[in-house]
Structure 1
Amino acid sequence: MRALSGPPTPGARENDAWAALFEREILERRPTPRFVGQDELTFRHALLREGAYAMLTDRDRRLGHRLAAEWLLQAGEQDPMVLAEHFERGGETARAAEFYLQAAEEAQRAADGPAVLARARRGIACEPAGEVLAKLHNVLSEQLFHMDDLAQSSTHALAALESSSPGSDQHRIAMAFGLLVATHTEDRQVARDLVQRMPPADLPLDRWQVAVTFTTFAFYALLREGMPDLARRYLQRIEQDVAPIMGDDHTAGASVAAMRAWWYAHAERDEWAARQQYRAAIDHVEGLGNRFGMQMMRMYAALDELMLGAFELAGQSVDALFAEEHAPAYVLLTALSFRIMGLLEQRRVTDAEEQAESMLRRASVSNSFAHVAQARLLLSECRLKRGDLLGAEEEVRAVGDTARLVPFLQSVRLSLLAEIWLRQGRAAEAVALAREAFALERSTACFFVLRQEVVPVLLAEALHENGEVEAAREVLREARAELLARADKIADPAYRRSFLENIAAHARTLELARAWLDA
């Protein structure tokens, strides 16, 4: 109040005036003030507050809000929304935008998507410039990506690029978001163009926190895009130059552990090592109290449990994600695909088909090409498992422009067509498709879905059916050796058993190897 009203007038009986306001029940003291050593006063009735506010001139309102904002800031106000609104109403829009940005980031950590959007948009409406504007656009781009609104996510990534200086922190982060969105919309040319603009040598190691943030998004996008060699160069740069100096920073620790986990899981197919890194990432995120980060890490950890054949544990993790309040659409759609994969492996085909149809409906609403394509490929697998070969092929054909598919989805599509044609007696054509899928798996298709495990044994079966028995045996011999080498890395006997026995492609590989190689 003193900041608003100025020093007391000499001779005025100020205490009597305050006492009268309390006695007439116009004002009251809050029993628990927010600031130590300060009395906190409030109007007793909302109508009185609104009436008093309406009596002020516009100029006085602006001045009052500006003075209130400055006093609250000095007093230690912790709620950035309170500060943002006072600064905005006080005409200090540039400062208001900074606090709206802080408020949006706070909502992001709390996994409150609608609040993130509302606060970041209010910040942009304040018409800031430079890095603050770019960062607000980047916050919106990331949030909209996780809500599966890829078109708007891309729009804000481009706006961040336009409003930031080339080489700046926010410019690099906007490029990483743009790449991530491009790989999910299957805009392959945009993805390739962005990759050329961000070599690992250009990471800003003097601002290593930015380098880690940038690399985290770019790294995952590069693995999806089927560029593991470039992804590895980024990871090596972080391992060599950042990891030794980041100390106990939980944000950086979570990001680096997540990148290590992705590398083990998707590039090296070492699910056990990935599991250990996911646990480390989750520990870091818990240390931050970051609810959104926890949802993301648990989603990835659920996939790893699935890849280890621990279907019950993976299912529990997926169910927990669906029970979360404000879980982003991207997390839910991705987790739904994991549920479908698990149901297929457990031969619950009817349940899997119902869930795949639900995924297709959800993905179609959000217009996410990648999720629509994956839903159709999962539906194809459902129909293949119940013997509907025509229905299975129809779903594969409905995927659309195959050139837009990232390599692992191209591999899945080819393997499904190969199995359909093999069952139709078209062995030679099945061999050609299976070879193409196999070549993708050996070159660019990083490991993201269980269907990819089918490719080696499917190629062996197609070769055998086509009369190429020795070639089939050689493929199977190599597949068994690789499978057992992966299993040998799993320290827990129960997980090793579930990996070899619960995943249908693994069990089939070992079964055929016993029949063809050990007889």
Structure 2
Amino acid sequence: MRELAQAPFMVVALARPEVHDQFPRLWSTRDLQEIRLPQLTRKASERLVRDLLGTEVTPGTVEQIVDRSAGNAFFLEELIRAVAEGHGDRLPDSVLSMLQLRLDALGPDTKRVLRAASVFGEVFWRDGVAALVNQDPRDQLAILVERELVASSPDSQLPDQIEYVFRHDLIREAAFVMMEAGDRVLAHRLAGGWLVAHGYTDAVSLAGHFSLGEEPARAAEQYARAAQQAIAGNDTEAVLSHAERGLACNPTGAVAVLLRIALAEAHNWRGEHTQAIEVGQQARVDVVRGSREFYCATDEVFYGAGRSGNLGLAIGMVHEMTASVASPDAARQQVRSVARAAIVMLRFGPPGAGAALVQRTEELAARLPIDIGTEQRLHSLRAMAARARGDAGRCLEEHEAGQRACEATHNLRELAFNYLSYGGCHGELGAPDVALALLQRGIQIAERVGATTVTPLLWFSMAISAFDLRQFDDARAHGNRAAALAHESDLTAEGLARWLLARTAHAQGDLDTGEREITTALEKLSTLSRYRALALATKAQLLLGRGDITGARATAAEAMASMRPDDGFEEGESFVRLVEIQALEASGDPSARAATQAAITRLETRASRIEEPWRTSFLAKPDNAATLARRGVE
């Protein structure tokens, strides 16, 4: 090259930046022009991934490959090849070998520190690494910073701790893979212990350390904390995952109870009530009567039983919650649990059960200072109690206060239920257009947090409001959605949806569909006389449509016998009474006049408890208006 110094001759050499470390004087006597190639841009990397893997590659896979490659074209190509070959879950050998060659140049002490740091994850702390290597790692960390393998963080998640981050996750993976299996177990155990001692709060990360460190008891404890954090974050899927992983660690005692309670709660919110009952009963075996865990577990069994139609078990759980004496730290939980039972029993329980539980809840609450979580549940209960006695103003006020409490505590699951009741009340008071908007908001929240237990009821209430607006196609679509979501998991919700579908079919003159739907509705609602009465009344209407007046009269009479008179403004009584009148009128029975007068008297008595402007809109509802239109008709 010296002989060609004056000739038109050029040498192009390609190397990684480490070439200067290995050959510091390689170009010292030459007129060197160094061009550093920049990283691939994210947009270019994404385009390359899609070009090579095709349009079917998911956005998540594209993002993962691009993030791991960190703009390195060789790494990107190898990661794409690994995914194409079905090995995208592990680091390609080609990439691993190149990275390990780079790390070998660090020297044994620095490489040991890097391996220890990799145990913590993307973020690590100087003192944490020191606890793993049993030496001060300052000098080695300085080398790693200089080599641009790690970087110091301006802030730290842990107080008084110097924090670092890996610049590229591939470096961390390569360093971690270089550890012996036995060393990894010990390292995770030490890392978990150090993090707990220094106030680290990410329970999922801690559970992972203890699990990989072969300390299942400590892992289960952290999974229980992670499940509670997920409940607070309205993440139902995460609750299930954490609780199941925690139980897989075979915990005992209090930790096992907490995991089972969390799992039962998640199953209930997903509408998986049979599983919730089973897991909740398992939790109840190991709880102390009157403890907070006792009320939580019993509450979940009650709710699962009540929603799945097992009223015997539900009533048994109610007795357990109301007859027990709460320990001081469990008193507010008892109030919340009994209040929840009262809400369910006001809608689905036997006559008088809901009102008795309302009274018991208020007695228990009067003895305590109330926190905002308990206050939210009490607002919901008081709204339902006001609804049952026809106090529309108080009902709506309590729902609005409950909404504010849910928003303050970020309890989105309870907020979805609030919109169900709040919207339903507007529909029952004769404002179905307002109800539709509120119910749609409830559906959005429920679907966002995976609250499957409330979603079918929201769609059912949407169907009722659409029906009242004579939007029968929408009513049918909403009813079918409710029935599909509730199928086999929520007998009550499916039964109500099938009833509404039958009623819609009757309104559209489709008697065949109506008869199929009402048969299913009666099967699903067989244990709930209040709602069975609605289904029987619709069956009577269908029989009238077929010209079977005798059958219609008998079925309407059965509906009246099953009906529970309602002092409030809830849907149902007016409809059942109207169908009885229609059946009597069709047969020419003069007792139709007495039935009409009785229906009008009952309707006006109920309406008298409702203040304006709601009284007028309530009386204008289709069934109520049809009843009042018969006044004075011979």
TM-score (norm 1): 0.86
- Is residue 202 of structure 1 aligned with residue 354 of structure 2? no
Q: Which residue in the other structure is 1:362 paired with?
A: 485
User: Contact conserved, 2:127 with 2:162, CA < 8 A, in 1?
Assistant: no
Q: Which residue in the other structure is 1:234 paired with?
A: 357
- The aligned amino acid for 2:556 is A
Deviation by residue 1:181-235 (Cα, 9 ceiling, x = unmatched): 223322344445545x526232526321220232134223433443242333322
2:631 to 501, 513, 519: 513
1:462 to 562, 583, 608: 583
- The aligned amino acid for 2:212 is R
Closer, same or farther: CA 241–221 of 1 in aligned 2, 3 Å: closer
Greater alpha carbon shift after TM alignment, 278-287 vs 203-212: 203-212
RMSD: 3.1
Alignment partners' CA distance in 2, 1:510 and 1:457: 10
Alignment partners' CA distance in 2, 1:137 and 1:404: 31
Q: Which residue in the other structure is 1:286 paired with?
A: 407
- The aligned amino acid for 2:441 is A
Deviation by residue 1:73-124 (Cα, 9 ceiling, x = unmatched): 4544343323332333344433332332232233233332221211221221
- The aligned amino acid for 2:146 is E
1:309 to 430, 443, 447: 430
Q: Which residue in the other structure is 2:607 paired with?
A: 487
- Is residue 42 of structure 1 aligned with residue 165 of structure 2? yes
Q: Which residue in the other structure is 1:385 paired with?
A: 507
Q: Which residue in the other structure is 2:64 paired with?
A: none
Closer, same or farther: CA 14–346 of 1 in aligned 2, 3 Å: closer
* Paired residue secondary structure (1:312): helix
Closer, same or farther: CA 377–442 of 1 in aligned 2, 3 Å: closer
Q: Which residue in the other structure is 1:376 paired with?
A: 498
* Paired residue secondary structure (2:436): helix
Deviation at 1:349, TM superposition (A): 1.3
User: Contact conserved, 2:530 with 2:564, CA < 8 A, in 1?
Assistant: no
* Paired residue secondary structure (1:384): helix
- Is residue 147 of structure 1 aligned with residue 267 of structure 2? no
Deviation at 1:158, TM superposition (A): 2.9
Alignment partners' CA distance in 1, 2:504 and 2:351: 30
1:146-295 equivalences in 2 (<5 Å): 146-165=269-288, 168-191=291-314, 193-195=316-318, 197-198=319-320, 200-204=322-326, 206=328, 207-247=330-370, 249-265=371-387, 267-295=388-416
Alignment partners' CA distance in 2, 1:510 and 1:128: 64
* Paired residue secondary structure (1:396): helix
Q: Which runs of 5+ in 2 are unaligned?
A: 1-125
User: Contact conserved, 1:187 with 1:404, CA < 8 A, in 2?
Assistant: no
Structure showing greater radius of gyration is 2
Alignment partners' CA distance in 2, 1:446 and 1:133: 45
Q: Which residue in the other structure is 1:116 paired with?
A: 239
Closer, same or farther: CA 254–205 of 1 in aligned 2, 3 Å: farther
Question: Percent of pairs identical after alignment?
Answer: 26
1:305-454 equivalences in 2 (<5 Å): 305-324=426-445, 325-364=448-487, 367-399=489-521, 401=523, 404-442=526-564, 450-454=571-575
- The aligned amino acid for 1:2 is D
Closer, same or farther: CA 7–65 of 1 in aligned 2, 3 Å: closer
* Paired residue secondary structure (1:28): strand
* Paired residue secondary structure (2:352): helix
Q: Which residue in the other structure is 2:118 paired with?
A: none
- Is residue 5 of structure 1 aligned with residue 125 of structure 2? no
* Paired residue secondary structure (2:154): coil
**Relative contact order (alpha carbons < 8 A, sep ≥ 6): 1 or 2 greater?**
1
Deviation at 1:327, TM superposition (A): 4.0
Deviation at 1:396, TM superposition (A): 1.3
Q: Which residue in the other structure is 2:419 paired with?
A: 298
Alignment partners' CA distance in 2, 1:310 and 1:7: 66
Deviation at 1:261, TM superposition (A): 1.9
How many residues are paired up? 506
* Paired residue secondary structure (1:513): coil
* Paired residue secondary structure (1:283): helix
Deviation at 1:452, TM superposition (A): 4.4
